[in-house]
Structure 1
């Protein structure tokens, strides 16, 4: 009899341990992993560094493929070293063949060749979500991409995207419109932005500094929605575009819809801007505060 009572007890413990192990394995398999493909910012405010901070702060695991190394701080960029194409390919193969990457965020790509490399690898590995931040216009208004590279971006990469996140100068470069000076002029671009071929577009209105709120348009085949947040007066906005697109990719990897991920990302970047002046970084345009909250997942 003692043996009979003992055996079921052992079986029960074994079952519990098995269940715990299965739960652990399930958790491991569903860890939201986000890949950022972008350049390095040695000042830490934008690029790969901002992406990793935003992905981590919003509750996902970040991995990276570096396309260029910049000598950069809060006052500007003094040098850029492009990573050889072959090594960019090696990085992409390394992460895709080992990690369960759910979402990919693409930032600045320097020329047509690297755009094609990235587009080909996206087609090869087919991650569930692709967010493209079409970085092509400097704050000064200067084009960062040659026109041929913009064409390659439109032909090769944007049609693969679930979401693109252009600011107003970038949207103008993509569509041929003048840079919008009002929300009405933003709305004039909707059809042309849809025609680029991405599943959805988040047209960012942050450049309309005369507006009380920062208003973005979320554009899809179903129509468009206004996503609005309070505008905070600060010069410390370096890396806002990188941060927003990375946060959206993070929320997509966690199972949110495109629209909800955009809303969550907008809330996150707004709070990161609101708390930016709590940091004292550099002598120019400082970064936003990626870790304004002690919580790992900002909802």
Structure 2
């Protein structure tokens, strides 16, 4: 049958080093046996040393990308990545709500792992007003969750409060990744709050490696892939967490500094 193979859409920026951004999303979708399509929003010139140049694409080109995807493919789930500014966020909102592109996973890419800002501060309000309310799943790292909620996380209870605040903005399901910047840490705890208000923690071993570029992109892409295959949200998150942990654990030596995680780990087992 036409279009019976599971298909997903990544709406994100290109990261030419291949470890993050759209490239990481497509690596992940392939590894998860889902056909990946894309709407390119921006291009990043960089490598394992850092981000050097960001070029945003014209809105009319982005609109055409959405139309062409919707006219031909049967998208079962979508995700966002780097959107750069308020104009791009508004364009994504307009097009996603116009076409049937499945449940949406929002990864609010605010800064790179190198520390460079990938979303203008002036766009954060637009992100909270437009994209978060239509998110079926919102995935955030420790920094992003504090930035969007305005709450400093110092305890497990603070993390729960942050998730509740973000759910009040409209996102159905929230996943907040635990802090992982301490080499003496043994365990990383992620918190999940579902639409049903059921919540749980996902704990994983901390791996002291510099090969963690694109971890957030990969997590959100894996959740998207699982949703495209028909898994429910809870199962999609749990499986995605397991995949990312394996991809961090089994290092591939690519790049000189902040290298990528191992998207191919499933093929090596």
Q: What's the TM-score, normalizing by structure 1? A: 0.85
Question: 1:85-164 residue pairs with structure 2 within 5 A?
Answer: 85-139=59-113, 143-164=117-138
- 1:280 CA drift (Å): 1.9
- Contact 1:182/1:208 (8 A) holds in 2: no
Distance 2:150 2:130 in 1: 18
Q: Deviations over 1:219-253 (max 9, x none)?
A: 12423111122222211000100011001000000
Does 1:257 find its partner at 2:235? no
Distance 1:140 1:193 in 2: 25
What runs of 5+ residues in structure 2 fail to find an aligned partner? none
- Contact 2:108/2:139 (8 A) holds in 1: yes
Instruction: Give the CA RMSD over aligned residues.
Output: 1.7
- 1:160 CA drift (Å): 0.8
Distance 1:214 1:78 in 2: 30
Does 1:204 find its partner at 2:199? no
Question: 1:40-79 residue pairs with structure 2 within 5 A?
Answer: 40-79=14-53
Match of 1:288 in 2: 261
Q: Deviations over 1:164-197 (max 9, x none)?
A: 101111011111112x244343123232121121
Distance 1:144 1:49, change over 3 A: closer
Partner-residue secondary structure (3-state), 2:230: coil
Larger C-alpha radius of gyration, 1 or 2? 1
Q: Deviations over 1:131-174 (max 9, x none)?
A: 00001134465654333311111111111110010111101111
Distance 1:286 1:208 in 2: 16
Distance 1:55 1:245 in 2: 10
- 1:56 CA drift (Å): 0.6
What runs of 5+ residues in structure 1 fail to find an aligned partner? 1-24
Distance 1:206 1:95 in 2: 36
- 1:78 CA drift (Å): 1.0
Distance 2:35 2:113 in 1: 30
Q: What's the TM-score, normalizing by structure 2? A: 0.94
Match of 2:140 in 1: 166
Does 1:230 find its partner at 2:211? no
Partner-residue secondary structure (3-state), 1:293: helix
Distance 2:161 2:132 in 1: 20
Q: Deviations over 1:190-213 (max 9, x none)?
A: 321211211101111143635422
Does 1:240 find its partner at 2:215? yes
Partner-residue secondary structure (3-state), 1:165: strand
Distance 1:184 1:274 in 2: 29
Distance 2:66 2:186 in 1: 42
- Contact 2:40/2:62 (8 A) holds in 1: yes
Query: Would you say how many aligned residue pairs link Structure 1 and Structure 2?
Result: 267
- Contact 2:13/2:43 (8 A) holds in 1: yes
